[in-house]
Structure 1
């Protein structure tokens, strides 16, 4: 499998911005990956019919009118590689198109470096591909509640049985925000500001929809939540220990 012999997954960074390529390549290298910075699709295709690549980071809008979308579709069909699309900040159309390609994830520019690495790890893990060893876990990288815990390094929700409970990116960010602010009433508008662009794919009552989805994953009885509780007319509060359901 690509990346195993050399000791780290190979991540192609296909972007026409040389500064961004260099920044992302340095970040990947520091995190145990082998970056492969490329300016366009032609450079990727020049690698041959079976390139030693584990994942592709692709800018949706490349220079010279080249479509990152078309490149992603071609790579997906020919190689079956996991793909993360890089899209413009605040461009809802870009994000929707990026997901419609069958991409495994998307990141809006500018992005948080730690989050990018966590997303790359998560996508590789779901695809069954190699990933560099993680640093030792410490208490401040784990946020526990009840019998569950949120692993910030792996971006995983771990259930009482030790198995991962799959979360969408918006669900993960919502849960992390609650766990960083336990026992505090948080208004819906504050949650929307916190999640920002991740809400672009939803219509009205976005937070309510995400709350319902999250409750189905973390509450024994979603209709009687003990952790993610409603404070009517005020917002939501997250109780890390068992409390009276509302």
Structure 2
């Protein structure tokens, strides 16, 4: 089988994975392994061809190599995340922790360093797809909510717009918005880091504590009077975080 060939291995494919890697052997290895589990794959060597596939076909998950000739994999991930919630697994030969953390903070959902086990890749694909479906269910529930109000603040869910006590708008990244919604959906309840990972699309077993803590720190700077002495997002040591303020839900 040609490594760049789009293939469907079941009469009705329920999962379509797009592989973007400049190494034809890696593309072929992943495609052939996933085919054993009736996962449809499309494998391409460049970000340009990736964009063409995304424009014409429905894709459930993206496997993206960071080191593409003449292209920046991190920039590709950032641009995708700005316009889509497509689950992304970063694949690279880089071993530095800073690269892993950067990938996740820019919007990737998971990270694998070459060489990797195809079995582990499959497990991570399945975990991300479960998480994605759970988030789609959550999104359905959010569709009934117009806004959340707390401590003089208002978050318009439909417009993704946060307004402060003095009616000043506050910009939110995709990660900020998802994290704030997670807190506002469960006020005055302790949320473990694992729960926040699932709800904010930050996941990597090696760096997840730091990823969540960094995201919480950024959100605190936007909504707390003093981020060093927070009163809204409190830390539960060894467990996670709790949103302390009362929250009003505005439906409609």
- Report the TM-score, using the length of structure 2 for normalisation: 0.49
Is the 1:58–1:84 Cα contact (8 Å) retained in structure 2? yes
User: What secondary structure sits across from 1:102 in the alignment?
Assistant: coil
User: What secondary structure sits across from 1:127 in the alignment?
Assistant: helix
User: What secondary structure sits across from 1:37 in the alignment?
Assistant: strand
Per the TM alignment, residue 92 of structure 1 is displaced from its structure 2 partner at its CA by: 2.2
State how far apart, in whole Å, the 2-side matches of 1:200 and 1:76 are. Answer: 19
User: What secondary structure sits across from 1:49 in the alignment?
Assistant: helix
2:63 is matched with: 57
Deviant stretches of 4+, over 4 Å = 165-169, 199-202
Is the 2:91–2:112 Cα contact (8 Å) retained in structure 1? yes
Q: Which has the higher strand share?
A: 2
Is the 1:10–1:55 Cα contact (8 Å) retained in structure 2? yes
1:73 is matched with: 78
1:96 is matched with: 101
Is the 2:111–2:204 Cα contact (8 Å) retained in structure 1? no
User: What secondary structure sits across from 1:11 in the alignment?
Assistant: strand
State how far apart, in whole Å, the 2-side matches of 1:201 and 1:111 are. Answer: 23
Equivalent residues in 2 for 1:57-206, closer than 5 Å: 57-64=63-70, 66-128=71-133, 169-170=204-205, 198=206
Is the 1:60–1:68 Cα contact (8 Å) retained in structure 2? yes
Is the 1:95–1:106 Cα contact (8 Å) retained in structure 2? yes
Cα shift readout 1:86-105 (whole Å, capped 9, x = no counterpart): 12242223212211111111
1:11 is matched with: 17
Root-mean-square deviation (CA), in Å?
3.0
Cα shift readout 1:152-178 (whole Å, capped 9, x = no counterpart): xxxxxxxxxxxxx758653xxxxxxxx
Per the TM alignment, residue 48 of structure 1 is displaced from its structure 2 partner at its CA by: 5.3
- Report the TM-score, using the length of structure 1 for normalisation: 0.50
* 2:42 pairs with 1:29: no
Cα shift readout 1:37-68 (whole Å, capped 9, x = no counterpart): 1101100112253531100000112112x011
Is the 1:87–1:94 Cα contact (8 Å) retained in structure 2? no
Equivalent residues in 2 for 1:203-222, closer than 5 Å: none
Q: Which runs of 5+ in 1 are unaligned?
A: 130-164, 171-197, 203-211, 218-246
Cα shift readout 1:188-225 (whole Å, capped 9, x = no counterpart): xxxxxxxxxx36986xxxxxxxxx95xx59xxxxxxxx
Per the TM alignment, residue 76 of structure 1 is displaced from its structure 2 partner at its CA by: 2.1
